[in-house]
Structure 1
Amino acid sequence: MKKILFLDRDGTIIKENNKDYQIDSIEKIHFHKKVISSLSKILKKLDYELVMVSNQDGLGTNKFPEDKFWVIHNHILGILKSEEIIFKSIHIDKSFQNEKSNNRKPNIGMLSKYLYNNKYNINDSFVIGDRLTDVLLAKNIGCKSIWIKENNDHYKNFTEEEKFYYSNSDKKILEKIIKLKTNNWEKIYQYLYKIRNKLIYKRITSETNVEISLDIYGNGQYHINTGIGFFNHLLEQISVHSLMDINIKIIGDNHIDEHHTIEDCGITFGNIFNKLLCKKGIERYGFYIIPMDDCLSQVVIDLGGREQLSWKVKFHREKIGDVPTEMFYHFFKSFSSSAKCNIYIHSIGINEHHKIESIFKCFARAIKMAVKKNYTNKVFSSKGLL
């Protein structure tokens, strides 16, 4: 299920105009420091959709005409879009506080389509805003809050509306909802990155005990122990060249042979990859060619849901390192079946070590390309699903 960042605009993305609380000219637009770079990284590396939710008091009245507002608003969106920061939807309430509109934050009238839709993971979503009304919006929709303030004391300089809500709120509940208090967007990104979803998958049989954790949009960090030295080395190449964070621990019956360990690693790795990957908004296809001295390897991958391996590789040695060469096909076949993906692998060359190492590196680069977010949330399939 998709997680959402419900973002306020004024005071959160751009700085608040404290004189009349209206951003109605170019001169009044001042973006928060690092907000653009941080939102860009959030969309690239984390699994969130952006939804803007803003109160614009009296929009459409003589004091705040709509023609001035929309020119400035669209200019702000254009700047963000130039950095591939695109909002799934934008919700703006025009009412005053005394009108008690159900659409005015912290009321939830504008957001009902997200609250009763099992496509969205509201519990792990956030409201990010600079007002107490944003914190209360998080409470009312059942998610968490990141509270932005220009000063260290988040309870000073309340508006009259905030004072009203604060005096009628349960302070303990508010503190539980607020997961971070900061006006530093880099810290917001770092916090969201730190808590990003990781999945740990275990597969236990009478032959092996496999435990794998995976972060598809990681930094290329790894800790791998399969009990097979050269196989460890090859799996490390996947992490380094795909930037996935991979932890693998396997206790297997290597005293018999390597078959069960390598097969079950491929099965488990494919399963966790398939469970963790959100296919909405990914490029789907990945392809890469890598030379390594005398060898040239090519890997093409389609994450479209079909499981098929085309293996055009010949080895002329029984083993490379401590791994039987026949097991390389078996690893990729097991991964393809569990991850439900189509993989084409072709390699030519003389040095067998170079051949298989370039295959694993190429496989990693193809995955990196295929899982890349395209920022449109489109599914690249005429069927509408992968």
Structure 2
Amino acid sequence: MRKILFIDRDGTLIQEPADFQIDALEKFQMVEHAIGALLQLKNAGYRFVMVSNQDGLGTASFPEADFWPSQNLLLQILSSQGIVFDDILIDRSFEHEHALTRKPGLGMLVGYLKDPEVWWAQSAVIGDRETDLQLAQNLGCRGFRLREGYGWPDIVAELLAAPRTATVSRRTNETDIQVSVNLDAQAPLHIATGIGFFDHMLEQLGKHGGFSLQLSCKGDTHIDEHHTVEDCAIALGQALKQALGDKFGIARYGFSLPMDEAAATVRLDISNRGLYRFDGSFPREAVGTLPTELVPHFFQSLSEAAGLTVHMEVTGDNTHHMIEACFKAFARTLRQAIARTDTALPSTKGAL
């Protein structure tokens, strides 16, 4: 998924002179800290789109020759630092025309609204006017307005600390599931699946994984527990994958947990390649109403949906302890792997 910053031009990237002759080349000046901030955000995986209202551009009142010299200089300065825009969108209508393409209208951004790869929870609009905040609201993403006492460094700090959240609803003929995660908060934690021991194990994932987890499921447990366990794993995996997004800054890997006489070892890689290997066997066929054969199936479904490579081993005598050790070890390993330890992508490929 792509996290995109939709950035205004005048007053956001270049200064607006007091006499409002904003396109006079001799008055050209970058907004303070803009270049350094954009470099930080680029390194954190953000993509850039310029979105600007230029009233009447190309008319006698605003000739093209008054705009392009400063625009080209701006792009040259930024490109010399490795900062480029995926798209440059300029509306030329006058304010009184209320064109659909004019900010805060969405006319210029319809393609992005239709793009399923845009990660709106982590995308944002950055500008210096109220219309930029209105545009953010219309897009359904965050908005930041530069003003006195609040500049680019403040915006960078907030963006890089933004919580990683996701909500997934999954409904089939067998289950109806809602799951929400926040990888950067530890509460709330609420589980309700209709399978008591399974609820207890999912609570371990959130508690020891260090993230907020809310999951409810209405399933066909009158038939058996299989559909509920499998579909909860799929929905939770999808939510984790969405919340991780482009994975910039994560530790990526996590490595082991004793539970009394039992011991579980989990090796995990947030690889975007779903693979699960299990080594162990449980002495009992069920704990409570949870069949033990569904434990490795849960982790397999979760790994595939979340794009995780997971190798799990468990030994012991008490089945309850062994299963709990598996869930806790997985959670602690996941906690290490999702931790923000940098701003770079932990891969030489350039993508995960």
Mapping of residues 76-87 of structure 1, within 5 Å: none
The answer (yes or no) to whether the contact 2:204–2:331 under 8 Å persists in 1 is yes
User: How much does 1:315 deviate?
Assistant: 1.4
d(CA) in 2 for partners of 1:121 and 1:271? 14
How many Å separate the matches in 1 of 2:305 and 2:47?
A: 35
Kindly indicate whether residue 6 of structure 2 is the aligned counterpart of residue 3 of structure 1: no
Question: What are the within-5 Å matches in structure 2 for residues 107-122 of structure 1?
Answer: 112-115=85-88
How far residue 260 of structure 1 moved from its aligned partner, in angstroms, is 2.1
Cα deviation 1:11-67 (Å, max 9, x = unaligned): 9xxxxxxxxxxxxxxxxxxxxxxxxxxxxxxxxxxxxxxxx945498xxxxxx9x9x
8 Å CA contact 1:281, 1:378 repeated in 2 = yes
Which residue of structure 1 aligns with residue 255 of structure 2? Answer: 288
Shift of 1:330: 1.5
Q: Which residue of 1 aligns with 2:233?
A: 266
1:235-274 to structure 2, matched below 5 A, reads 235-274=202-241
Q: Distance in 1 between matches of 2:273 and 2:299?
A: 14
Change (3 A) 1:6 1:219: farther
Structure 2 residue aligned with 1:126:
124
The equivalent residue for 1:146 is 144
Write the distance in 1 (CA, Å) between the matches of 2:190 and 2:148: 41
Q: State the secondary structure of the residue aligned to 2:248.
A: coil
Letter in structure 1 aligned against 2:338: V
Q: Counterparts of 2:351 and 2:147 in 1: how far apart (Å)?
A: 41
Q: 1:255 to 1:302 in 2, by over 3 A?
A: same
Q: Distance in 1 between matches of 2:133 and 2:215?
A: 42
Native 8 Å contact 1:284 1:302 kept in 2: no
1:86-235 → structure 2 map (5 Å cutoff): 101-102=67-68, 112-115=85-88, 125-128=123-126, 131-132=128-129, 135=132, 145-150=143-148, 189=158, 198-205=166-173, 207-235=174-202
Cα displacement (A) at 1:102 = 4.8
Gaps of 5+ in 2: 18-27, 49-64, 79-83, 90-111
Q: CA deviation at 1:208?
A: 2.4
CA contact (8 A) 1:281 1:374 kept: no
Deviation at 1:193, TM superposition (A): 5.2
Q: Deviations over 1:290-343 (max 9, x none)?
A: 222322221112232333221112211222233221111121122223333221
Structure 1 position 322 matched with structure 2 position 320: no
Cα distance between partner residues in 1 of 2:310 and 2:198: 20
* CA displacement at 1:282 relative to structure 2: 5.0
SS at match of 1:198: strand
| Partner amino acid, structure 1, of 2:186 | N
Aligned equivalents of 1:271 and 1:135: distance in 2?
32
Structure 2 residue aligned with 1:369: 336
- Answer 1 or 2: higher relative contact order, Cα 8 Å, separation at least 6: 2
Size of the aligned set, in residue pairs, is: 295
Residue of structure 1 in register with 2:109 after alignment? none
* The one of 265, 270, 284 aligned to 1:303: 270
TM-score, L = length of structure 1: 0.57
Describe the SS at the equivalent of 2:317: coil
CA distance in 1 between partners of 2:121 and 2:309 (Å) = 34
CA distance in 2, matches of 1:136, 1:103: 28
Retained in 1: the 8 A contact 2:133–2:145? no
Unpaired segments of 5 or more residues in structure 1?
12-51, 58-63, 91-98, 152-180
Letter in 2 for 1:113: D
- For residues 245-287 of structure 1, the C-alpha deviation after alignment (integer angstroms, 9 at most, x for no partner) is 2221111222232222112222222233334432442547432
Aligned-residue CA RMSD (Å):
5.2
Q: How many Å separate the matches in 2 of 1:316 and 1:122?
A: 46
Match of 2:302 in 1: 335
After TM superposition, the structure 1 = structure 2 runs for residues 49-60 of structure 1, keeping only pairs within 5 Å, are 53=13, 55=15
- What does residue 169 of structure 1 align with? none
Deviations 1:66-87 (A, max 9, x none): 9xx9xx979x969x98xxx969
Moved more, 250-259 or 114-123: 114-123
Do the aligned partners of 1:215 and 1:246 also contact (CA within 8 Å) in 2?
A: yes
**CA displacement at 1:199 relative to structure 2:** 2.4
Q: State the AA in 1 paired with 2:281.
A: K
Q: 1:350 maps to what in 2?
A: 317
Q: Distance in 1 between matches of 2:323 and 2:329?
A: 10
Q: Is the 8 A contact 1:283 1:370 kept in 2?
A: yes
CA offset at residue 122 of structure 1? Answer: 8.1
User: Is the Cα contact below 8 Å between 1:303 and 1:342 reproduced in 2?
Assistant: yes
Question: Alpha-carbon deviations, 1:124-145, whole Å to 9, x = none?
Answer: 743556x559959979xx8864
Name the structure 1 match of 2:100.
none
Aligned partner of residue 289 in structure 1, secondary structure? coil
Structure 1 CA distance for aligned equivalents of residues 133 and 180 of structure 2: 35
Q: Which amino acid aligns with 1:313?
A: G
Distance 2:168 2:285 in 1: 34
Asked if structure 2 preserves the Cα contact closer than 8 Å seen for 1:296 and 1:358, the reply is yes
Distance in 1 (alpha carbons) for counterparts of 2:134 and 2:192: 46
| Kept after mapping to 2: 8 A contact 1:279/1:379 | no
Name the SS of the counterpart of 2:186 in structure 1: coil
